[in-house]
Amino acid sequence: MVDIVVVGSLNMDLVVRVAKMPLSGETVVGSDLALVPGGKGANQAVAAAKQGLSVSMVGCVGNDPFGPRLIQGLKEAGVSTDYIRQVNHTSTGTALIFLEEGGDNRIVISPGANGQVSQADIDRTAGLIQTAKIALFQFEIPMSVIDYGLQMTHRFGVATLVNPAPYRPFPSEWLSKITYLVPNESEAWRITGIEVTDLSSAQKAAEKLLKDGASTVILTLGEMGALLATPGGVLHVPAPEVEVVDTTAAGDSFIGGLSAALVWGYPIEEAVRYAVCAGTLAVTKFGAQTSIPSLEETRRFYEAVNKKPPKIS
């Protein structure tokens, strides 16, 4: 048995800091290149593991030097890598990240082996998925594999958390198979056609997703925190003010914290509050997996923000 199964991507992030983003045709001088383990799937696996959960990662790496480094990083974070497959004659997924002063970033993904994740990989983990408390999916692997995975989790009655990032069109029928849909502002806009610019428009987008079949929508709003929408109502959870260093993996840290709180049995409202604390802490550090907060860090921050300790089972 396992708390969390993550079906998703593994990337090596190639990060360069710049004073400002280059314009079209412009060359700017950046910092030394930093190699940072990343990928939305791997980040979320690490984020959940750092909260003390048992986590298994399902995905693919290439047969280049990046693959073993990513797998070793996951192992060091406490993530089971038994279901990560090495693909020959294919590069490991790579993300080119330009980090601007102030923490904003621009990211270009080269999928590599992430594009080779298959239905057979899902079949190999069917027994594991069946016993999981939550299965996590993102959109950096083939959409057909996500569809297959959602069919399996729906058949087994396993809770699912889907982070539709980076956005790609998906069938509306998926909404009824997703327990927790967690888009950001841009993704919510692309899904619903409602541009999310403030809390009012965020609520409209979330309510449209509910109307279209979603059961629980948790819309991450960056420095504004998060918006929880269920058939029972809407709740805004503001983000604490902190000094922003790097926004990379903030959303992944949010999902790790959210997954942990749900596994612990938090009411959904408190789970979102805990997740906001985890996501906020991530922006205070540099890098993807290197910025993900630990259980102890998140507990202390949650207690400071909410004036009460979290009830950790």
Determine whether 32 is an active site residue.
no
Catalytic residue, chosen from 3, 13, 246, 252, is 252
- Helix, strand, coil % in the chain, rounded to nearest 5: 40, 25, 35
β-strand partners of 163: 138
Residues across the chain: 313
If phi > 0 it is left, if psi is from -120 to 50 it is alpha, else beta; for residue 213 that is: left
| Residue 86 structure tokens | 């090495």
Could you give the CA distance from residue 171 to residue 14 in angstroms, rounded to a whole number? 33
**Separation of CA 268 from chain center:** 18
DSSP-derived secondary structure for 246-295: --TTHHHHHHHHHHHHHHTT--HHHHHHHHHHHHHHHTTSSSSGGGPPPH
| Residue 146 structure tokens | 């996500």
State the helix-helix crossing angle for 268-282 and 295-306, rounded to 10 degrees. Answer: 110
What are the residue numbers of the active site?
A: 252
